[in-house]
Structure 1
Amino acid sequence: MIDEVDRKILRSLHYHPRASFRLIGEVAGVSEQTAARRYQALRREGVMRVVGLINPEVHGLARWVTRIRCRPDRVAPLADALTRRPDIAYVGLASGGSEIICMILSPVDAPRDDILLRQLPKAASVLDVSIDLLIHAFGTVGFSEWSGYGGRLTPDQVARLTADRPPAATGPFQPPTVEDTPLLDALAEDGRTTHTRLAELTGWSKARVARRLDALESSGSLTYDVDLLPEPLGHHLNAILWLRVAPAHLQRVGDELADHDEVAFAGAMSGNHNIMAVVNCRDAEDFYRYLTTRVAAVPGVDAYSVSIRVRRLKQAASLIAHGRLIPPGPA
């Protein structure tokens, strides 16, 4: 059973994914050992993962928001093919059972067919496709920085976590090298892997590990994401809002949405609906409240539509199987 201590641990990781268990324990009001044990239990149960990710922009990749409508009898193989592709960061099935929503990493100038259709089952199963470029992420570049699960921290606690966190990236990017592969593979598996363990895996000294991490992090090449499943935290309705906003209001509306507790991600995109917002709510009534109070209070939204997600297959750096977050690879 997830309690307030667990939520404070998750909230601490939200502010500083690699914070020490000593600091996390002090913030959550428990011992260092209890904080470590609670964290490991959450990770083992597949509720959350801390992952280290290379920023796609390092390799000149953009994010493409893609909606695929296909024959209902072909949804499963098509979604599975998309989920297994390393260039696809997110896959979800929308209500109705025939729409797949995904986010693809591909160069801005890539031909449309190269972005989507390669390595998929026969294209005859695809009835309609829309592909729009994600042109800006509001608030955060992560895809799962949702914070609506409770565990609120005081301003002093937030200040302690953020003061201990490495400074914001200043660039320019430091592209990873072949030598970095063991380091990055370990962080993709567990973004909290210790310097000692990273030194063992790479054959480097701990000082060299620290220097390389500092170079990758300070340039913005390496980022950390706290990947969460909302259902164990009591939020069982997940939706994507597609909003239409006049360009003059785009930044303000996007920033306001990104600040909502219910929103896991908000981004500006090309297309008829030029803002997407990923929303987690407790149930249908909670979602209705969110739409009619918080979204309704945001001036500048001209139109919207909703995709209710009935199943998520992949998010950030994790596959989702049997209600658990797992590393990419065979389920």
Structure 2
Amino acid sequence: MLDDVDRKILRALQCAPRLSFRRIGEVAGVSEQTAARRYQALRRSGALRVVGLVSRRVYGAAEWVARIRCRPDRVAPLAEALARRPDISWAHLASGGSEIICVIRAPLDMPSEDVLLRQLPRSASVLDVSVDLIIHNYDAPGTAGWTGYGENLDAAQVGLLTAERPPPTAGPPLPPTDEDAPLLEALAQDGRTTHTRLAELTGWSLSRVARRLETLEASGTLEYEVELLPERLGHWLHAILWLRVAPAALERVGTEAAGYAEVPFVGAISGEHNLMVSVIARDPEDFYRFLTTRIAATPGIDAYAVSISVHHLKKAASLISRGRLVPP
């Protein structure tokens, strides 16, 4: 189980994924060596991966959420195959193991021959498919994904972590060059790969590595994900809430939901239930408390449905195998 030091290290990484262990140790109140040792233990356990990814905005990809209802005896092979597709960025089994919920990254003008939309309904294992566009992501200020494990940092600690972050540049992110390929491949495997190792892999000087990273990060081309496996951290229940919200209340409800520590993702979607809220709880009672104290107290919600995840398949850049985050 996590202790206070582990929690502070996780929060520090979410604020600044590539920050030095010396600075992370200062925030966590431990030595540089202890911070590094604790991080490596979390990483080896499969509970944590830090990955560097090219932003989907570089190529104009939209995100679509698909709900695929299948025959229970045929769902596992289909789910595993979907999770390995590069255009699938997130996948879970839900509703007693008969429904696959996944997020697809594809352009708005997705071709009609797309495999997921065109071929899946022909499969004898697929009973029903619905696909909705994610039209807006709600990001809570000062957070970076799920923080329900606790130990929030104060403003001074967050300032210490983010002080060295390069200021963002104006304009849309630019596509990386062919020369960036080994750099980006290394960061996709481990977002904390050292400058020295990146120089070895690219054949560049240390100064060139540092300059290129700063340019890619500041332009928004290169983003980092701190992927956590909640089950390894004592949070065993993951649910998707499908909320129906009046348009006039959508911005307020979405922003409020994104601010809850239990919520790693909130998206406005194009379906009848127009708000998708991912919730991570310790157990059913914890989830019930969230429903009755958080959701029930939020005006503007007309109806809701719940999908309970029974098996995690994929996060943004990791497959989930035998209860561990692993590279795809």
> Offset at 1:236?
0.7
Paired AA for residue 285 in structure 2? E
For the pair 1:12 / 2:9, whether they are aligned, the reply is no
Change in Cα spacing, 1:74 to 1:113, as seen in structure 2 (3 Å) is farther
For the pair 1:194 / 2:194, whether they are aligned, the reply is yes
- 1:242 touches 1:304 (CA, 8 Å); kept in 2? yes
- 2:97 is paired with a residue whose SS is coil
SS at match of 1:313: strand
Aligned counterparts of 1:9 and 1:119: Cα–Cα separation in 2: 44
Cα pair 1:94 1:311 within 8 Å, conserved: yes
3-state SS, counterpart of residue 263 of structure 1: coil
**Contact 1:318 1:325 (C-alpha < 8 Å) held by counterparts:** yes
Which residue of 2 is the match for residue 86 of structure 1? 86
Structure 2, gaps ≥5 residues long: none
Given residue 102 of structure 1, which amino acid in structure 2 is its aligned partner?
A: C
Match of 2:277 in 1: 277
Identity of aligned residues (%): 68
Q: Which amino acid is the alignment partner of residue 71 of structure 1?
A: R
Q: Does 1:52 align with 2:52?
A: yes
Q: Which stretch of the first structure deviates more once superposed, 204-213 or 183-192?
A: 204-213
Partner of 1:258: 258
Residue in 2 aligned with 1:249? 249
Matches within 5 A, 1:16-35: 16-35=16-35
- CA offsets 1:187-210 (integer angstroms, 9 cap, x no match): 111111111111110011112112
Mapped contact 2:95–2:308 kept (Cα < 8 A):
yes
Q: Partners of 1:326 and 1:121 in 2: how far apart?
A: 30
TM-score (normalizing by structure 1)? 0.94
CA gap of 1:167–1:323, structure 2 versus 1, over 3 A, is same
1:210-250 Cα offsets, whole Å, 9 max, x none, are 22212211111111110001112111110001111111111
The alpha-carbon deviation at position 172 of structure 1 amounts to: 2.1
Whether 2:288 is the aligned partner of 1:299: answer: no
Contact conserved, 1:68 with 1:126, CA < 8 A, in 2?
Answer: yes
Q: Is the 8 A contact 1:81 1:121 kept in 2?
A: no
- Matching of residue 204 in structure 1 with residue 211 in structure 2: no
Q: Give matches, 1:197-236, under 5 Å.
A: 197-236=197-236
Offset, 1:140: 6.4
The answer for the alignment partner of 1:110 in structure 2 is 110
SS at match of 2:91: strand
Residues 113/277 of structure 1: CA separation in 2 closer, same or farther (3 Å cut)? farther
Letter in 2 for 1:218: A
User: Within 2, Cα distance between the matches of 1:120 and 1:265?
Assistant: 26
- Which is worse superposed, 146-155 or 225-234? 146-155
Q: Which amino acid aligns with 1:9?
A: I
TM-score norm. by structure 2 comes to 0.95
**1:198 aligned partner, one-letter code:** L
Question: 1:115–1:213: structure 2 CA closer, same or farther, 3 Å change rule?
Answer: farther
Aligned 1:130-141 pairs, distance under 5 A? 130-139=130-139
Q: 2:275, 2:113 → 1: CA distance?
A: 24
Q: Is structure 2 residue 287 aligned with structure 1 residue 312?
A: no
8 Å CA contact retained: 2:112, 2:118: no
What is aligned with 1:99? 99
**Structure 1: runs of 5+ lacking an equivalent:** none
| Separation (CA, whole Å) in 1 of partners of 2:187 and 2:250 | 35
Moved more, 161-170 or 209-218: 161-170
Paired residues in the alignment total 327
Structure 1 residue 88 displacement after superposition: 0.4
User: What does the per-residue CA deviation read over 1:64-116, in whole Å, with 9 as the maximum and x for residues that have no partner?
Assistant: 10000011121011101101101100110002221000001111111455161
Question: 153-162 or 317-326, which moves further after superposition?
Answer: 153-162
Give the superposition deviation at 1:118.
Answer: 6.4
Q: Taking structure 1 as reference, are residues 77 and 184 closer, same or farther at Cα in structure 2, changes over 3 Å only? A: same
Change (3 A) 1:217 1:118: farther
1:183 aligns with 2:183: yes
Aligned equivalents of 2:252 and 2:163: distance in 1? 28
Shift of 1:180: 0.9
Q: CA RMSD in A?
A: 1.9
Q: CA contact under 8 A between 2:140 and 2:259: conserved in structure 1?
A: no
Q: 1:284 and 1:220 mapped to 2: Cα distance?
A: 38
Write the distance in 2 (CA, Å) between the matches of 1:127 and 1:223.
37
